[in-house]
Amino acid sequence: MFLKNQPKENIQEYYNLLKIVGSLSNLFSDNNVPYLYYRAAENIFCKAFEANNLSRGDSSADASKNSIGIGLKTFLNSNGNTLQKIAEFNKDRSDYHDLINNPAEFIRYISFLRNKRLDSTKAIHSIDSLAYHCVAREANRFLIFEEEMNFINLDQINDIQRKPNSISFNDKNHEYNFNISKSTLFKRFTTTNVSELKIEILKDPYETLKEIFDNYKLDFTKSNKTKYEYVILPLFSTRSGEVAESSGLNQWNAKGRKRDPNEVYIPVPTIIHKKFPNFFPVNEKGISFNLHLPNEEILTSSMCQDSFIKINGIEVNKGKGLMSNPNKELGKWILRDILKIPEGTLVTYEMLVEIGIDSVEVRKIDSENYEIDFKKLNSYYDFIDSLNE
């Protein structure tokens, strides 16, 4: 578990921040159960414990620190025994649709997909173990507890019960329920071994906030939040919707010169260069940048493959792919560490669907430093749609 091994001052900071946010509950409702928005819970946790916030990417963990991945949950305590969402499988629907009339095979396949996602989360972020950190809410208090985030034991799945819109099962460690119409997997959380945190809800939080702002003479015309430009890139060919057999993640399979089995590049569609002409550097020899991976490794990278576009009337070679130098380093990370496929195996779109990712987000910190993380299925098309809107 995570919490009990943290310094006392960090734990106290965490509790204090939860009390502050909980005290503002009347901003949102007049209930005596304190309100805690899940994004606020994630940010509070990461701030107090100086943890890495993984919520921007598509990961089974919301935070990580010291090789521990943490799934952060906040929910009403109810009877102390509640089902909570842990994964969605909307994009996998076509793969398991034919199994729906065979509950045993169906649940085994869903469990296999869930385990694949946990495995990829560990690989992407160099995580050794996983845990849930939960904040259950009830009248005037938070109840904080943790439990392991286990892989589903495929050999111990039993007590499968089919209902019109759900299938419940357990693996002798946990109880699960799959909602068929929502393609969502739930797990039962039992509120035990808790730390109790009493919350004093302010009667008039608006007046309190106004006094704070007046005392500090805050200038609302300024923002101290750093904003970074970002783009989302596909891990597949936008022409076919598949992973090309001899380019992109399968560049190692291209004909011509002898290639390293880890040789890949991430496609950069022309529309990205046109919409963000100054985001990536030009594709010229000697121009490179640092690419920061989610596991905190840094790869020297550059643009590759000629792709000329006009910027302010001038034709510029922006490149049609992002690669590492040496080229094999990026491929080793994606093909071996994340997808875990043997050398010589072609990457398919179905492989990406299995682990729930088909895109990457690249953030520009400055002209020499970029960050990269994986994104959930369909993120590239959603990004392009948002640009068009």
Domain boundaries, the chain: 3-216, 229-388
pLDDT in tens, 180-191: 999 999 999 999
Q: How many CA atoms lie within 13 A of 272 on its CB side?
A: 25
- In this structure, the strands spanning 129-138 and 68-76 are parallel
Q: Which residues contact 274 (CB under 8 A, 6 or more apart)?
A: 309
- Give the chain's mean pLDDT: 92
Predicted confidence at residue 211, as pLDDT, reads 86
Burial 307-343 (b: 16+ CB within 10 A, else e): beeeeeeeebebbbbbbbeebbbbbbbbbebbbeeee
259 alpha-carbon distance from chain centroid: 32
- Among 23, 310, 48, 73, smallest CA distance to 188 is for 73
CA pair distance 279, 275, nearest whole angstrom: 9
369 alpha-carbon distance from chain centroid: 21
On the question of pLDDT at 217 being above 70, the answer is no
Assess contact for 135 and 18: CB atoms under 8 A. Answer: yes
Tokens read off for 278: 């100054």
On the question of pLDDT at 288 being above 80, the answer is yes
CA pair distance 13, 19, nearest whole angstrom: 10
CA pair distance 198, 277, nearest whole angstrom: 52
Predicted confidence at residue 223, as pLDDT, reads 54
Average pLDDT over residues 278-288: 91
On the question of pLDDT at 226 being above 70, the answer is no
Bond prior to 326 in cis (omega within 30° of 0)? yes
pLDDT in tens, 116-173: 999 999 999 999 999 999 999 999 999 999 999 999 999 999 999 999 999 999 998 9
Predicted confidence at residue 218, as pLDDT, reads 61
Residue type, position 202, single letter: L
CA pair distance 111, 366, nearest whole angstrom: 41
pLDDT in tens, 341-370: 999 999 999 999 999 999 999 999 999 999
- In this structure, the strands spanning 369-376 and 289-292 are parallel
Predicted confidence at residue 33, as pLDDT, reads 95
pLDDT in tens, 12-36: 999 999 999 999 999 998 899 999 9
Tokens read off for 93: 């629907």
pLDDT in tens, 64-112: 999 999 999 999 998 889 999 999 998 777 778 888 889 999 999 999 9
Q: How many CA atoms lie within 13 A of 358 on its CB side?
A: 23
Distances (CA, A) of 379 to 58, 133, 232, 274: 10, 27, 7, 19
Q: Which residues contact 13 (CB under 8 A, 6 or more apart)?
A: 47, 48
How many percent of the chain have pLDDT more than 70? 97
